[in-house]
Amino acid sequence: MRLRADLLPHGTYSDVVLVIDVLRATTTAVTYLEHGAEALWLTASPDVALGLRAPGRVLAGERGGLPIPGFDLGNSPVQAAQNFTGRVVVMNTSNGTGAAHVAAQTGKHVFLAALTNAHAAARRARALATEEIAVVCAGTDGHVGLEDVYAAGVISEYLLAMGEFTLDDGARLALTLRRSQANPLDALRGSGHGQYLERLGLEADVQYAAGLSTSTVVPVLTPGLETPEGAL
């Protein structure tokens, strides 16, 4: 079995894909579902999300880490840790939802992963993959995100404990980074985007995102019958 880590979303995928955007889209997505959200719709643009406004739906997302005008919420996992029972959360973010759309174009099984659901995501990927597990880092505005590569290393470490894998250089880099920093919060606080969020006063989100395997929820991208055009 191949284990591959793409430090930015690119190319095509043939089997299982784990999309990572630790700060903060995939952490937030896991949290919404953990707190009762009926479904998540990851839209291709803010306009698609705005066009989907309806009773029972929450529009959530960010640009530059701040809420999108006209949306109900930003992209805070701490804010997502409220009661969303029965609500559909319509999400659009700067990088994470776009990375999910890239992966969904060719991936056979596409899941959202973060540090908070890392072990559950690794287990799910190992159970389903037949040839390759690709861990895809969203990054930030086209730049590699240290926090995402660190999470790819955490997941790679879990997978290596579950079976035999042939690693590409991306996975080797991710593992090296993970093994260089035992404390996930130190890694996140040392990342460019983590420091940016802290400057915005969002350090609680960074701390929340550093919670290692605190959740067993693994969001799967399978457009449902009612998933609208332009959303996953």
Residues that bind ligand MLT (CB under 6 A): 21, 23-25, 62, 65, 75, 93-96, 140, 197
Q: Distance between CA atoms of 180 and 120, rounded to whole angstroms?
A: 23
Q: Which of residues 24 and 109 has its CB atom nearest to ligand MLT in the complex?
A: 24
Bridge partner residues of 132 (DSSP): 2
Within 13 Å and on the Cβ side, how many CA atoms surround 124? 20
Question: Cα 188 vs. chain centroid, distance in angstroms?
Answer: 14
Write down the least CB distance from residue 75 to ligand MLT, Å. 4
Residues β-bridged to residue 57: 88
Tell me whether residue 175 or residue 197 sits nearer to ligand MLT (CB atom): 197
- Both tokens of 78, joined, read 């701490």
CA distance 102 to 178: 25
Considering the complex, what minimum distance in angstroms separates the CB of residue 40 from ligand MLT? Answer: 13
Alpha carbons 134 and 152: distance in angstroms, whole number: 10
65 versus 107: smaller Cβ distance to ligand MLT: 65
* DSSP state letter for 43: B
The dihedral built from the CA positions of residue 104, 225, 41 and 207, taken in this order, carries a sign that is negative
Smaller CB separation from ligand MLT, 65 or 219: 65
Q: In the complex, what is the shortest distance from the CB of residue 103 to ligand MLT, in angstroms, rounded to a whole number?
A: 14
Euclidean distance between CA atoms 25 and 94, whole angstroms: 9
- In terms of CB distance, is 1 or 217 closer to ligand MLT? 217
Tokens of 142: 């086209």
| CA–CA gap between residue 207 and residue 189 (Å, rounded) | 9
| Min separation Cβ 27 and ligand MLT, Å | 8
> In the complex with ligand MLT, which residue's Cβ is closer, 102 or 159?
102
